[in-house]
Structure 1
């Protein structure tokens, strides 16, 4: 990540509108060598966003910029014309920024392009030049620019004015726009630009609430959440195949709920489940029987697709893990592979750790624990792989409770959420019933442990 002292620092600037002094976090160097998100942040326009406490202005603060991508030997500069600074002074202000970029490069990478930075006269040309290096066609660029201009325009108007702007540009609101916006939010958060991330989240919510496409997305999210809530409640009461079948039949009219339930509870849709469904079908008649037959056919198709997708994901995760383990510096290799690490990878890693322990392969176990440790350092709160492994290895309920007591500080709400997510992922995998039952046992004990602790705090 780019260090704040070098590229993003609090400084006093003049408000672009009322010219009163305001304090803002300003980024002047976007170096892809230092921060993989630098390009995306710059292209988004979601940087150097300020809010004036005097006149209420919200928008981008004009400032000199340097963009650097060593892989493409690309060094670009931009000086906002609205600053009205003479050319010779512009060079004096840009020069130190270029020197900062060059000094961070090892001697062998200080190539000739540093002596000939390309000057961009407009922000649009700056974005175009960056994207040209990625092979983006003019048509693709225009579509992308239209979406980014829309987001920039939204960010520059008041909250009250945004619904009207959104209505005027609603044809731009599609899946691609929301994906861009989500990446911008993540990039801004990762770069520590809290104000920018806050503005982008506000834009996202207003776009969802004020467009037909957004309403569909919100409806899908609500349907998915309803299915997850129903499954969680049933799991707490002890999820049986009969209860799962009832949930699925109730959700049959909603494609979203049905897909969500099947993907989360895949392991429960086994031979016995389908036998139970067949019995229900045979005892039904008329339209109800036809509906159950159609549901059975759909479930068979869905489970087949899920099994294929999971197998492909597990194979890819296994290949990535093998690649990491083959590197001399495992921790560094793990950090470089972070974009490809997801819950499937964590499950594969956990299974490998368990197998290495069972085989008493200490050399392999040490390497796998290095991977787990590296992930733990940078992962979301709660993703404590070693603690989950210890709980799974516990022989009975008393042993699980002992592990929980020993690691009480690690048993947070985030840990419980991660454990539930892991349980759901495992339930979606065929042939993992033993592991599902063990994770369910662990999850129940974690819930009891946290409830007891919360009650004690209340007293």
Structure 2
């Protein structure tokens, strides 16, 4: 468990409590390992000025599944040998206290000391099967990103062209993770600069152009399938879905889109009907229908497994938030995990809140409500200003208040306000949120008038 430690912001000088990790046991704290590998361990954001604050402290890393025990004492602490040994001994006692009884093994008598933090990270990665060659490739990716980040806008296309062969899936994943990490640490300006670099990489690299073409094709397929579903009318029946699935037989892209959009339609009764249709079909058509049935079963199982994994992860994260010892620790945890605070997490949070309300657990209701409000607050901070304004407009208590907000602020955003409303409306359309779409249409008309 992290220790609540008073930390002083080097920028504004204010002190605040932060959950500092000193012992990371992977079996009990897998998130600690992720933070360490991402370079975000014991990195916080000042609640007063928003500056990034990193705590320098000795810490111990333990992965029992690989019999790996390491300790890192930052050299900048300049601890004399007796104090250094005492610090390591204290960390070992902390680890022993949280381990299950009887789990102490011989390799734990002497932790391996890492001379540098990067050396510890490299050792952990090698234990996970990451080779030195893979690590060098990652360093090369970071070197390219560093060059792009420091380059003037007009020279970035040529740098991208020179490194075109290095830009692949891993490169784009590294870039996305860096953006998320900078945003979570409160380094908004760096995150925005990296986002601009990401746009240039997509536009000027061979791999990026392929990604954009694929994304456009997938979007077109999703839109086509969504329109086909809408064409079934307000109250489609199983026979309609069966006919639509048969139309897409052999077209895996459209079948995936169909299952992803209307997974609940593919229930036990649907497969009973499909099996009956196979039995009645001419002999030369049965194999095609059987292949369709098998593929639909695979797709529904994949969607279900993914959904269950997402919900399980969200539930674990909610438990971590609920176990926070105080408000400052909770705020720190929320900011550390802002990249995964998505719709699934909010759904799990609201479901738990509703259950607590129905069971009359007032203390739990208060705690979950507090978590919900803090999460929404952090998510609003992460939004671009124009998107935050649209969100505030939708939350206006009355049409009069909404109009007042538009009159006072619409011209500051200009045409980007209309573009953002259109983007939100398109996203809501894909989710079938008809009531919100109607409100957005009314909002757009009012925004147009305010901008005129």
Q: Flag whether TM exceeds 0.5 (same fold).
A: yes
Q: What does 1:333-348 correspond to in 2, within 5 Å?
A: 333=330, 335-337=332-334, 339=337, 341-348=341-348
Give the structure 1 partner of residue 386 of structure 2: none
Superposed CA offset, 1:432-454 (max 9, x none) = xxxxxxxx6xx322222332344
Q: Which stretch shows the higher mean deviation, 296-305 or 443-452? A: 443-452
Superposed CA offset, 1:289-348 (max 9, x none) = 544432221110121232233233333433443444345536743651552544322212
Secondary structure of the residue that 1:360 maps to in structure 2? coil
Q: Are 1:181 and 1:204, in contact at CA under 8 Å, matched by a contact in 2?
A: yes
Superposed CA offset, 1:359-398 (max 9, x none) = 3333332222122122122124799xxxxxxxxxxxxxxx
Aligned mates of 1:33, 1:239 — CA distance in 2: 54
Question: Quick one: structure 1 residues 199 and 345, their matched pair in 2 at CA, closer, same or farther if it must change by over 3 Å?
Answer: closer
Aligned mates of 1:67, 1:359 — CA distance in 2: 42
Question: Quick one: structure 1 residues 157 and 289, their matched pair in 2 at CA, closer, same or farther if it must change by over 3 Å?
Answer: farther
Please report how far the alpha carbon of residue 253 of structure 1 lies from its aligned counterpart in structure 2 after TM superposition. Answer: 5.5
Give the structure 1 partner of residue 147 of structure 2: 153
Please report how far the alpha carbon of residue 39 of structure 1 lies from its aligned counterpart in structure 2 after TM superposition. Answer: 9.1
Q: What does 1:117-196 correspond to in 2, within 5 Å?
A: 129-134=116-121, 135=123, 136=125, 138-157=132-151, 162-190=156-184, 196=190
Q: Decide which of 213, 218, 224 is 1:224's aligned counterpart.
A: 218
Q: Are 2:58 and 2:74, in contact at CA under 8 Å, matched by a contact in 1?
A: no
Matched, 1:444 2:430: no
Runs of 4+ in 1 over 6 A off after TM superposition: 1-4, 31-34, 36-39, 401-404, 412-416, 418-423
Aligned mates of 1:238, 1:166 — CA distance in 2: 49
Give the structure 1 partner of residue 111 of structure 2: none
Please report how far the alpha carbon of residue 276 of structure 1 lies from its aligned counterpart in structure 2 after TM superposition. Answer: 5.3
Please report how far the alpha carbon of residue 172 of structure 1 lies from its aligned counterpart in structure 2 after TM superposition. Answer: 2.2
Unaligned runs of 5+ in 1: 8-30, 43-65, 78-97, 99-107, 114-127, 384-400, 425-439
Give the structure 2 partner of residue 296 of structure 1: 293
Q: Are 1:41 and 1:184, in contact at CA under 8 Å, matched by a contact in 2?
A: no
TM-score by structure 2 length?
0.56
Aligned mates of 2:208, 2:401 — CA distance in 1: 41
Aligned mates of 2:74, 2:245 — CA distance in 1: 56
Aligned mates of 2:367, 2:359 — CA distance in 1: 15
Q: What does 1:402-421 correspond to in 2, within 5 Å?
A: 417=424
Superposed CA offset, 1:27-48 (max 9, x none) = xxxx9979x9999689xxxxxx
Please report how far the alpha carbon of residue 185 of structure 1 lies from its aligned counterpart in structure 2 after TM superposition. Answer: 2.4
Secondary structure of the residue that 2:344 maps to in structure 1? helix
Q: Are 2:322 and 2:368, in contact at CA under 8 Å, matched by a contact in 1?
A: yes
Unaligned runs of 5+ in 2: 1-6, 22-33, 41-52, 60-71, 78-82, 89-114, 127-131, 384-393, 406-416
Secondary structure of the residue that 1:293 maps to in structure 2? helix
Q: Are 1:334 and 1:374, in contact at CA under 8 Å, matched by a contact in 2?
A: yes
Q: Which stretch shows the higher mean deviation, 235-244 or 209-218? A: 235-244
Q: What does 1:50-449 correspond to in 2, within 5 Å?
A: 69-72=56-59, 75=74, 129-134=116-121, 135=123, 136=125, 138-157=132-151, 162-190=156-184, 196-230=190-224, 233=227, 234-235=229-230, 238=234, 240=236, 241=238, 244=241, 255-275=252-272, 277-278=274-275, 290-329=287-326, 332-333=329-330, 335-337=332-334, 339=337, 341-380=341-380, 417=424, 443-449=433-439
Q: Are 2:428 and 2:437, in contact at CA under 8 Å, matched by a contact in 1?
A: no
Aligned mates of 2:382, 2:119 — CA distance in 1: 41
Q: Are 1:227 and 1:257, in contact at CA under 8 Å, matched by a contact in 2?
A: yes
Superposed CA offset, 1:147-166 (max 9, x none) = 11222334455556545544
Question: Quick one: structure 1 residues 274 and 74, their matched pair in 2 at CA, closer, same or farther if it must change by over 3 Å?
Answer: same
Superposed CA offset, 1:170-228 (max 9, x none) = 34222221111112223344556566445433432343344454344323422432344
Q: Are 1:209 and 1:215, in contact at CA under 8 Å, matched by a contact in 2?
A: yes
Superposed CA offset, 1:386-441 (max 9, x none) = xxxxxxxxxxxxxxx9998599859x9789959967995xxxxxxxxxxxxxxx6x
TM-score by structure 1 length?
0.55
Q: Are 1:281 and 1:289, in contact at CA under 8 Å, matched by a contact in 2?
A: yes
Question: Quick one: structure 1 residues 365 and 232, their matched pair in 2 at CA, closer, same or farther if it must change by over 3 Å?
Answer: farther
